[in-house]
Structure 1
Amino acid sequence: MTDKPDREALPYRDCVGVALFNADGKVFMGRRKAEGDPDQSARFDAPWQMPQGGIDKGEDPLRAAMRELQEETNVTSVSLLAEAPEWVYYDLPEEALGVAWSGKYRGQRQRWFAFAFTGSETEIDVQSPGQGKFPAEFDGWRWESLTRTPGLVVPFKRDAYRKVVEAFADIPQRFTHG
C-alpha cells in the first residue's frame, strides 16, 4: 500500500522560467546544487537548467521572472525580448510526487520569458547572488545553444524545454553577426 497522493488531484505550481541570451545568442544554463534541490534535479545526470522559480501570490509573472533571475544569477542588466505564447507544463516523476515542494503539487505551470543580457559577465554570481542575500541554487553556469538545452536537463523537464526552444527559436538569429 502506498501513500502517494493522487497525481490528478494535485494542482500545478505557478512558476516562471527565464531564457537569458548573451550577445552571441547563447542561453544561460545553471548547474543545480544537490542540497536544497526541491524537485531533486541535481541527482540526475543532467542537473542543468535555465533560471526558474515560483510566482508569489499576486505577483506579475514578468516581475517574478526578473526577481527569480536576480535571486539565482545576480543578473539585473536585461532587456525583454519575448514572452512564450502559452503556459508550459511539466509533471514531476513518480519518485518526486508527494515529496517535492512539500507534496503540494504535481508539477509546474511555467510562464517563460526571453531576455537579452545587457551587462558584463562579472555581474553573474551564482555562488553568492545579491552579495549573499539569496541562497545559491546553482554551483556553476555556462552559455549554451538554445537547441541543446532539452538534452541537458532532467528527463521530466525535456518536453517543457522543447516547447521553450520552439517558442524562442527565432531569437538566437537576432544576435548573429553578418
Structure 2
Amino acid sequence: MEPLNNDMSSIPDRDALPYRDCVGIAVFNRDGNVFIGRRKGSDDPERSADFDAPWQMPQGGIDKGEDPLRAALRELYEETNITAVSLLAEAPEWIYYDLPEDMLGKALKGKYRGQRQRWFAFAFTGDDSEIDVEAPGGGKFHAEFEAWRWERLSRTPGLIVPFKREAYEKVVEAFIDIPQRFTHV
C-alpha cells in the first residue's frame, strides 16, 4: 500500500503572496445606475458552477509605473469601449479582497493572494451605443464580458462572486451619494 501524499508544498502560502495592484471602475449613467458586465466564459475561475454571481464592474491591473487614474481609463476602454466619461470621485482608500483557498495558486496567474484596488467613479457622458463588450477597442482587446446592463449601485454586492462581496460593499459605501447626484429636477 502506497502512503498518502500529504505534500502541502503545492498549496501556496497565502501570507507569502502579494496583492495585485488594480483599479475598479464604477460608471454611472444619467439615471444614477452603474454599469455591470457579465463575465465571459466557463473557463473563467470566477464564473464556475460554484458561483451564481458572474456580474461585476470593470476592473484590471495597474501596469508598472502607471498612474491609477490612467489605468482606470485604459481598463474601462479595453473592457467596454467607453471613453466618454467625466471623473466624479475616487474612493478614499485602497479596497482589498482575498482569493478563496481553492483559487490560490490558480487565479490571478497564481502569483497573488488577491487584489488591492483603487476605485474611481465616472459619469458616463456618451450614448449607450458607444458600449461594446463583445469587441472592445474595435476588436483590439479580448472580450471579458458577454453582456452588460445598468444596475443600482446598492445591488452590486449581491451580484458579485461571494469572495468579492465585502470589497463591493466598501465600493458602495465610498460612492453611496453619487446616484442621488443624478436625480433631475
* Fold match (TM-score > 0.5): yes
In the aligned structure 1, how far is the partner of 2:47 from the partner of 2:68? 25
What is the CA RMSD across the aligned residues, in angstroms? 0.9
> Could you tell me which amino acid in structure 2 is paired with residue 130 of structure 1?
G
Give the match for residue 134 of structure 1: 141
Q: Are 2:102 and 1:107 equivalent residues in the alignment?
A: no
In the aligned structure 2, how far is the partner of 1:61 from the partner of 1:99? 25
Give the match for residue 41 of structure 1: 46
Report the number of matched residues: 176
> Could you tell me which amino acid in structure 2 is paired with residue 88 of structure 1?
I
**Which entry has the higher C-alpha Rg, 1 or 2?**
2
C-alpha deviations, 1:146-173, integer Å up to 9, x for none?
0000000000000000000000000000
SS in 1 for 2:136: coil
Question: 1:55, CA displacement in angstroms?
Answer: 0.2
Give the match for residue 64 of structure 1: 71
Give the match for residue 77 of structure 1: 84
1:96 corresponds, among 74, 87, 103, to 103
In the aligned structure 2, how far is the partner of 1:80 from the partner of 1:35? 33
C-alpha deviations, 1:41-95, integer Å up to 9, x for none?
2222100000000000000000000000000000000000000000000000111
Percent of matched pairs sharing the same residue? 76
Give the match for residue 3 of structure 2: none
In the aligned structure 2, how far is the partner of 1:108 from the partner of 1:175? 30
Question: 1:36, CA displacement in angstroms?
Answer: 5.5
> Could you tell me which amino acid in structure 1 is paired with residue 88 of structure 2?
L
